Amino acid sequence: MQKTSEWLLSFNSQQDQRIRSLLEQRKSKVAKSVTVSVTGGKGGVGKTSVSLKLSQEIAKQGFKVLLIDCDYNLSNTALKLGQPLSNDFFELVCGAKEFDDCLYKDGNFHLLSACNGSLDLFDSEFRLEDVIIDIMSSHEEEFDFIFLDCPAGITRDALTLNAYCDQRIIVVTPDKSSITDSYSLVKVLNSKFGVRTNQLLVNRYRTQSQFEKVVKTLSETIENFLNVRTQVLGGIEHIDIDASKFDSYFLEPAENSFHKNFLKVVNKYTEEISKSKADSEIYFSAQQTLEQEVQ
């Protein structure tokens, strides 16, 4: 079995150059859509639920949103929405179906779910990151936001997708392994792809002091040792509720304190994105004017 250190060394310069080329292409223009990976250092931190609720709430604000489930053969996004499993993702990959025919649609919210235990997909030879990036680049002009429910950890596909996206929301829990693994993810993204900014969402904290401790520990360590900026979006308190009822409680809108607090996270996020896009548009406009004057 290949050790992690050996795998990192095998992440060859050709692959690095390809991703850097794609990153430069995105930097060279103001894209209509904002691409966002919802990720984490380890699995089981609530990425899928956060991806779904964040995407749905932003769609309710009038933005056209696409969420792509990147857990390509163990997907459960459709199940969380009460939808049946399908083989649409494989049929899209092999060209048997069109992109639009594979989407679940609810107003401005669009979901491209993956497969679950598809033998056809398991036996096929394709690079997940290449397929997802191709989908994003082909349809970015159709959406305001494209979210990825990204694989956890520092696998090749997860690193590539995280590096390609404009924004990365790292979901972390107060668990020590989650904090440690999130730091490792930020470290590798920074060292391999020069990623210098990430956003942090603390999930399942029980007290305000616990939330503040996680934020302080992780953000200060990242800043001091990696010189990487961490923007804190906020947190989601732990809910003492039966696991079988969690999705309906979390995803369905309700006039309770939990839902209102989550909307604060959504509003802060969209405000920051709107400001960032406005600054980018001003920058590119000035750059184009300067180039015209030089010519």
pLDDT digits 0-9 by tens, 212-252: 999 999 999 999 999 999 999 999 999 888 877 887 788 87
Distances (CA, A) of 21 to 7, 18, 111, 129: 22, 5, 28, 15
Per-residue pLDDT at 294 exceeds 90: no
Residue 116 pairs with which residues in a beta bridge? 74
Assign domain 15-272 to its CATH superfamily: P-loop containing nucleotide triphosphate hydrolases (3.40.50.300)
Output the pLDDT for position 182.
Answer: 97
Between 233 and 289, residue with greater pLDDT: 233
Which of the four pLDDT bands, split at 50, 70 and 90, describes residue 293? very low
pLDDT tens, residue by residue, 21-46 = 766 665 555 567 899 999 999 888 99
pLDDT at 288: 44
| Domain edges within the chain | 15-272
Residues of the chain above pLDDT 90, percent: 48
Q: Is 101 exposed, middle or buried (0-12, 13-18, 19+ CB in 10 A)?
A: exposed
Res. 109 pLDDT band, cuts 50 70 90: very high
pLDDT (average), residues 161-167? 92
Return d(Cα 252, Cα 247) in angstroms, integer: 8
pTM: 0.85
The alpha carbons of the chain give a radius of gyration, in whole angstroms, of 19
* Better-scored residue on pLDDT, 229 or 117: 229
What is the rounded average pLDDT for all residues in the chain? 83
Give yes or no for residue 254 having a pLDDT over 80: no
CA 87 from centroid of its chain's CA atoms = 23
DSSP class per residue in the chain? ---HHHHHHHS-HHHHHHHHHHHHHHHTS--SSEEEEEE-SSSSSSHHHHHHHHHHHHHHTT--EEEEE--TTB--HHHHTTPPP-SHHHHHHTTSS-GGGG-EEETTEEEE---BS-HHHHHS---HHHHHHHHHHHHGGG-SEEEEEPPPSS-HHHHHHHHHSSEEEEEE-SSHHHHHHHHHHHHHHHHHH---EEEEEEEEE-SHHHHHHHHHHHHHHHHHHH--EEEEEEEEE-----HHHHHHHHHS--SSHHHHHHHHHHHHHHHHHHHHHHHHHHHHHHHHHHHHHH-
Question: Cα dist. 269→33, 39, 153, 171, 212 in Å?
Answer: 15, 16, 23, 14, 19
| % of the chain residues with pLDDT over 70 | 82
Of residues 200 and 271, the one with the higher pLDDT is 200
Over range 106-121, report the average pLDDT.
86
Report the range of poorest mean pLDDT among 67-76, 97-106, 121-130: 121-130
Mean pLDDT of 158-163: 92
Pull the structure tokens for residue 216: 């302080």
Give the residue, 276 or 54, on which the prediction is more confident. Answer: 54
Q: What is the pLDDT of residue 240?
A: 86
Most confidently modeled range among 4-8, 28-32, 166-170: 166-170
Model confidence band, residue 86 (pLDDT cutoffs 50, 70, 90): confident
